[in-house]
Amino acid sequence: MSDVFRRQSGPFREGDRVQLTGPKGRLNTVTLEAGGAFHTHRGVLSHDLIIGQPDASVVVSTNDIEYLAMRPLLTDFVMSMPRGAAIIYPKDAAQIIGQADIFPGAHVVEAGVGSGALSLWLLRAIGPSGKLNSFERREEFSEIAQSNVQAFLGAKPDNWSVTVGDLQEQLPASVEPGSVDRVVLDMLAPWECIEECAEALTPGGVLLCYIATVTQLSRVAEAIRSTELFTEPDSSETMVRGWHVEGLAVRPDHRMVAHTGFLMTARRLAPGSVLPELKRRASKSDFKDEDVEAWTPGALGDRNSSAKRLRKTAREAKKAADAATTDR
Ligand SMILES: C[S@@+](CC[C@H](N)C(=O)[O-])C[C@H]1O[C@@H](n2cnc3c(N)ncnc32)[C@H](O)[C@@H]1O
């Protein structure tokens, strides 16, 4: 296993991304190069002054302007990295790690990869002894995600695979039945993949779906129940409200990111096990054609990114990944 997970601490090294906080709190991110320089209208800051310093050091430009140099946390990185598809926000990623019980050494399957934000959190949680198999139906997104992961870690971890194609087709060909500990789905129609996920999961394994709307939440819950292969699904959403704490001015922030998505988890029953009769059974839902129409990508507001925009994002992400990659 490469040392990609060890780059997140210790003195600054060539190839590290560094966030510089300058006067008035303005942020700039640079990738350190021996002999490189950060130019502003307030003077020049040599990268050589930063390389070798401890994280969170204050460095001074040629015009005596002070900059706080810090490695971006994963949260900082995912919020500013190039995006093809919408990312999972840190507040939800943290809950996913907890609710899906992602553990060091776990074998995890993820789809779709989108921009790779959740992949980064999952890779960190499973550590070098785990395995992450990610699936993405759009090649451009898979490229952006791989560049983002490479830009953050400095290399592609060798315990991560990205397969281009639909999960429901690729999963059975990629993993042994009953061998996967956790499956995390972030896609428009997770109900299309439930049977394949059930086949891949080990008994007691966790299926977690991240879902944007209540109509999807309802449909995926019914799809999970109808297989009779899982425990009763649990659903939740997470709201995180920041607080302003300064002297006697202690109050909630005026703004917050409120709705992002819902999380639903269910556990794979052992083969042949039948879930004891539920106290409350959801009323049988018959979907009419109009209901199904309401769940189509267009009706749900899934924006179809143009190929031109995605090619541009992929080029930007690749540039950042190349800049962060060193022969270490
Ligand atoms: C919202 S994005 C995922 C974002 C990602 N979790 C992140 O944090 O960056 C949803 C992705 O799922 C992909 N997708 C949708 N259905 C899929 C399927 N059946 N198999 C594989 N990928 C799929 C889409 O192409 C899209 O890139």
118 is in an annotated binding site: yes
Confidence of residue 240 (pLDDT cuts 50, 70, 90): very high
- Tokens representing 159 are 């315990």
Q: Which CATH number fits domain 4-72: 1.10.1200.30, 3.10.330.20, 3.30.1600.10, 3.30.565.10?
A: 3.10.330.20
| CATH 3.40.50.150 in the chain, residue ranges | 76-271+282-294
Query: What number is the average pLDDT over the span 208-212?
Result: 98
Q: Ligand 1 — pocket residues by CB below 6 A? A: 85-88, 111-112, 114-118, 135-138, 141, 166-168, 186-188, 193
pLDDT of residue 255: 95
Which is the closest atom of ligand 1 to the Cα of 166? Answer: 20
Query: Residue 267's closest CA among 230, 234, 300?
Result: 230
Q: Where are the alpha helices (DSSP H) in the chain?
A: 47-50, 74-80, 90-99, 117-126, 139-153, 167-174, 194-200, 214-227, 289-294, 307-324
186 is in an annotated binding site: yes
In this structure, the residue with its CA closest to atom 11 of ligand 1 is 112
In this structure, the residue with its CA closest to atom 14 of ligand 1 is 112
136 is in an annotated binding site: yes
The full length of the chain comes to: 328
180-186 vs 107-111, strand pairing mode: parallel
Confidence of residue 314 (pLDDT cuts 50, 70, 90): confident
* Separation of alpha carbons 166 and 42, rounded Å: 50
User: b/e for 170-203, b at 16 or more Cβ within 10 A?
Assistant: bbeebbeeeebbbbbbbbbbbbebbebbbbbbbe
Give the distance (Å) from ligand 1 centre to CA of residue 142.
9
pLDDT of residue 279: 46
Q: How many CA atoms lie within 13 A of 10 on its CB side?
A: 7
116 is in an annotated binding site: yes
**For 30-43, how does the pLDDT look when each residue is reduced to its tens digit (9 = 90+)?**
999 999 999 988 78
Which is the closest atom of ligand 1 to the Cα of 192? Answer: 19
- The percentage of the chain sitting over the pLDDT mark of 90, rounded to a whole number, equals 77
Query: What number is the average pLDDT over the span 102-118?
Result: 98
Q: Which CATH number fits domain 76-271+282-294: 3.40.50.2000, 3.30.910.20, 3.30.420.40, 3.40.50.150?
A: 3.40.50.150
Give the distance (Å) from ligand 1 centre to CA of residue 321.
21
Return all residues near 171 (Cβ < 8 A) that are at least 6 apart: 109, 111, 135, 193, 196, 197, 199, 200
Give the distance (Å) from ligand 1 centre to CA of residue 147.
16
pLDDT of residue 288: 64
Give the distance (Å) from ligand 1 centre to CA of residue 85.
8
Confidence of residue 181 (pLDDT cuts 50, 70, 90): very high
| CATH 3.10.330.20 in the chain, residue ranges | 4-72
